[in-house]
Amino acid sequence: MAKTITYEMEIEGMTCHDCEVHVSQALERIGASTVRASFQRGEAVFVAPLDFSFDQARKAVAQAGYHPRGIRELTEGDGSQFTSMAGVDYDLVIIGSGSAAFAAAIEARGAGATVAMVERGTIGGTCVNVGCVPSKTLLRASEIYHAARYPGFHGLGTRAGAPDLAQLVNEKDALVQTLRQQKYEDLLAEYDIQWVPGEARFIDDRRIQVGERTITAGRYIIATGARPRIPDIPGLDEASYLTSTTALDLTMRPDRLIVIGSGYIALELGQLFRRWGAQVTLIQRGRALMPSYDADVRSVIHAAIEDAGIELISPAAYERVERHGSEVMVHLTVDKARRVVQGDALLVAAGRTPNTEALQLQYAGIDVGDHGEPLVDATLQTHNPRVYAAGDVTLGPQFVYVAAYEGKIAARNALGLAGRPQSLDLDVVPAVTFTQPGLAQVGLTETRARQMGLAVKTSVLPLAAVPRALANRDTRGIIKWVAEADSGRLRGAQVVAENAGEVIYAATLAVKHGLRVHDLTETLAPYLTMAEGLKLAALTFEQDVNKLSCCAG
């Protein structure tokens, strides 16, 4: 007996029981059975064979006068009864091998699904190879070097010689190799994930080709990640530029570094080379630096960047880039005035673009966005019900922990491990920029909350009111809470401070679990920690903490 699967189709336009009959008849004519249409729920649930044509189903419903939307497989239970699919090579094929891919693979193997992972390059994706791990280890080295040169205490006579960038790059590479082996390569055998090296491309809505091999799967997950986006600026391709990947391999420090971009990557790498002693100039198109923060917080960020000796040029329109020998020149228009910025190295840090150009997504019936990203719904399903996408390739929040979370959700939904599909919840996503001071935020800003029509109140605490900052002799920064005006429920936090990334996790828990201002003010906070600033900022809603004794909060 041929294997059948139960599907659910979302349908707009049904208004009565006659509509249900029309939809049922349309689906039955193309091979569906046991059709249960509901105009109240805007859906039709039906049984169909494994080779059922979703495009044909959409056309049949549309011809009946209604508007078909998403189609998804329905399974019963919690995934404990998962059984492998007949007539396919694997239950799940994952294209890519980064954090989203491995999270998906581990989730699927835990349910007993057969899994293959296809990778055209180096296992591990962006984070371990060219992103988080290598950048943060070099950033830490630069922090120590800078602290040795400028300790901030007059009684310390520390000094530091010139950094050995070649040795630091070797140490960085050794760490990358170790983590790639332990956290990725070793897990293939641990979880019995089949490794398929090569470039994957869809040849239709059910199959991919890798080299000379054709592979079929019950479900696919696209987790190919993203790479640095190169803006269309005349002369840029001929100018020999760096990206966030190649900049981490430099063994010689540039004297004058020009950075195209001013986002978190630009700020981190700009400050990295500034600490090594380079002159650094950031160029941005817009007026606002880090526009996801509120204006009062942005002003503190801007002051910290200037205090680090980094020049920021904005708003700039790029005319062209030229290179003459060792000299690179970026021609700009800044507030209608022409300007030329000169340097000996150019770093492009202008966002990310998805790795999809080789996948032939059009053959799989997958719609893409303006940058080539596969378009997904809240369950990470593409227009093709057999294909899901997760991680940076979707151009959602570009964080490794979001990618891993999405990979797990994609696997659950693709294989029906959670019963009904599980939607993403990205309302409370912490974001950290590893500058000095660090930048971090979570939840709603004041600006966003008011745009949503929420009545909110805020507290703003300068870091000079945080004892830890005073002890550190570094009071650059600010802590800001956003809370609902009536209930006091905390909706968002922004932190500019040393160790902002460590501080923001406590704020994340507070926002995610609906804590209120009084929950923080009535909680003991350890003295002389930066995290104590969250409580002090909460107290600032009602009183002036400068008039309290130490620990009196």
Amino acid at 343: G
So what's the architecture of 246-350 in CATH?
3-Layer(bba) Sandwich (3.50)
Cβ-count burial 169-184 (b if 16+ within 10 Å, e if not): beebeeebeebbeebb
Return the minimum-mean-pLDDT range out of 14-28, 217-231, 491-505: 14-28
- From 19, 85, 117, 530, active-site residue: 19
Q: Is 550 a catalytic residue?
A: yes
- From 9, 14, 85, 290, active-site residue: 14
Q: Is 16 a catalytic residue?
A: yes
What is the mean pLDDT of the segment spanning 142-171?
Answer: 95
Residue 70 has pLDDT above 90, yes or no: no
Q: Yes or no: is domain 431-547 CATH 3.30.390.30?
A: yes
- From 9, 117, 127, 530, active-site residue: 127
Q: Is 132 a catalytic residue?
A: yes
Backbone angles phi, psi at 530, to 5 degrees: -70, -30
> How is residue 446 written in tokens?
């004041």
Amino acid at 129: N
Reported residue count of the chain is 553
For residue 324, list its beta bridge partners. Answer: 327
- Contacting residues for 18 by C-beta, under 8 A, at least 6 apart: none
- From 132, 191, 363, 505, active-site residue: 132
Q: pLDDT tens digit string along 322-336?
A: 999 999 999 999 989
| pLDDT value, residue 551 | 67
For residue 6, list its beta bridge partners. Answer: 47, 74
CATH number (3.90.420.10, 3.50.50.60, 3.40.190.10, 3.40.50.300) of 90-125+170-227+354-415 reads 3.50.50.60
Q: Is 405 a catalytic residue?
A: no
- Please determine whether the domains at 90-125+170-227+354-415 and 431-547 fall in the same fold group of CATH: no
Return the minimum-mean-pLDDT range out of 25-39, 205-219, 484-498: 25-39
Q: Cβ–Cβ contacts within 10 Å for residue 270, how many?
A: 27
Q: Cβ–Cβ contacts within 10 Å for residue 195, how many?
A: 13
**Domains of the chain: which residue ranges?**
4-74, 90-125+170-227+354-415, 246-350, 431-547
Which of 154, 222, 513 is CA-nearest to residue 387?
Answer: 222
- From 150, 452, 527, 551, active-site residue: 551
**DSSP, res 239:** S
313, 282 Cβ separation under 8 angstroms: yes
Q: Cβ–Cβ contacts within 10 Å for residue 332, how many?
A: 18
- What's the pTM? 0.87
CATH number (3.40.50.720, 1.10.10.10, 3.30.70.100, 2.30.30.90) of 4-74 reads 3.30.70.100
Q: Is 19 a catalytic residue?
A: yes
> How is residue 523 written in tokens?
């909680």
What is the mean pLDDT of the segment spanning 230-239?
Answer: 95
